[in-house]
Amino acid sequence: MDINELDTMKQPLHINDDLLINYLLKEVSEEQALQVEEWRAMDTANERRFEQFRLIWDSSKNFTADPDIDALASLQSVKQRAAEQKPQAKVVSLHRYGWLKIAAVLLFIAGGSWLFVSKFMNPQVAFETQDIVKTDTLSDGSMITLNKYALLNYPKRFRGEQRNVALVKGEAFFSVAPNKAKPFIISTGGATIKVVGTSFNVKNRNGMVEVIVETGIVQVTDNRNRAMIILKPGEMALLNASTGKLIKIKTPDKLYTYYRSHEFVAKGVPLYRLVQVLNEAYNCHIVIGRKELAKQQITATFNTDISLDYVLELLTKTLQITIEKKQDQIILR
């Protein structure tokens, strides 16, 4: 390996707990914020760790300071316990943080944020799917359908003034039980989604967050620029996590429902859009070989349990096109 090759290799980023805390507190420079966001995008494990930090921070907002508690003594006690578990645990200055910040810092010092939540606050559930779709019911009665290869973290029981969950990766449909006194908050891919009682679809893939509303009203906030939009039924939000660009458009089709309805419902949708969904559903790599085919409209309904080969056969007959298989690609011509 020569020097030029070494220069082009991307060095791993080292993000410590202090920087993550400051990022959540919005006490970082633009350069530091970009560094954290790049670190999050590099690996799903990094994003999972960040969502655990965010969940701890959101939970700490519900803490109420007791005036009779000696904050310095409490911090000293925690530091002593942390030292027994971690010889190099970092000391945090009290004057820099108010009571709300102290609550979050105490959690992080005490031997790991996720361990603290699991053992002392509220056991967490890691709802994860591999090659099948799953449905689960949360403690408040809300129902979640998780698409393939997705991960949702949520508490065994909701406590405090909010119902906080984290969609670490993938796609999920939420049917949220109404509760005006306790809003339902989803953290995912640089976005915060807030509802009271509604049904909507959320996708977090490849640095893009997509929110589609079916019933009720949904608030979507870009955590980077603090831009916020309100969605109603038939509307969707798109957020580019790397640029912070948040837009609202009309929901173009019903293809996104395929993993719940078990049907691909295409009503006058362009071929490129159907190809996007087929690639996702069948974990394949279909490409359009002729530009003029991309906007060719398709009207068809077929079950998701049929084979990909059968779907391709339907396309060849409907559009009078040919299929070429080349290595891992399926080319439509």
Residue with tokens 């298989």: 325
For 281-304, the DSSP string reads HHT--EEESSGGGTT-EEEEEEET
| 63 φ/ψ angles, rounded to the nearest 5 degrees | -75, 145
Instruction: Look up the pTM and report it.
Output: 0.66
Q: Are 255 and 269 in contact (CB under 8 A)?
A: yes
Quick one: tokens of 136?
Answer: 């689960």
Residue-wise pLDDT for 46-93, tens only, equals 777 787 777 666 655 444 444 444 444 544 554 455 455 544 444 444
Percent of the chain's residues with pLDDT above 90: 38
Average pLDDT for 244-260? 92
Give the C-alpha separation, 154 to 188, whole Å: 12
Residue-wise pLDDT for 95-140, tens only, equals 444 555 555 555 555 545 455 544 455 678 889 999 899 999 999 9
Give the pLDDT of residue 171. Answer: 96
Give residue limits of the domains in the chain: 3-121, 124-250, 261-332
Level-2 CATH architecture, domain 261-332: 3-Layer(bab) Sandwich (3.55)
How, if at all, do strands 184-188 and 163-175 pair? parallel
Give the C-alpha separation, 76 to 64, whole Å: 20
Give the pLDDT of residue 37. Answer: 81
- Is the model more confident about 65 or about 332? 332
Give the pLDDT of residue 291. Answer: 86
Residue-wise pLDDT for 205-245, tens only, equals 888 999 999 999 999 998 888 889 999 999 999 998 778 78
Give the C-alpha separation, 109 to 83, whole Å: 9
Give the pLDDT of residue 122. Answer: 64
Most confidently modeled range among 11-20, 29-38, 94-103: 29-38
Residue-wise pLDDT for 185-210, tens only, equals 999 988 999 998 899 999 998 889 99
| Average pLDDT of the chain, as a whole number | 79
Average pLDDT for 27-50? 78
Q: Among 27-31, 97-101, 163-167, 281-285, which stretch is predicted with the lowest mean pLDDT?
A: 97-101
Give the pLDDT of residue 63. Answer: 46
Give the pLDDT of residue 226. Answer: 83
Give the pLDDT of residue 94. Answer: 43
Give the pLDDT of residue 247. Answer: 93
Pick the CATH number of 124-250 from 3.40.50.150, 3.30.2130.10, 3.40.50.1820, 2.60.120.1440: 2.60.120.1440
Give the pLDDT of residue 194. Answer: 94
Give the C-alpha separation, 82 to 159, whole Å: 26
Amino acid at 232: K
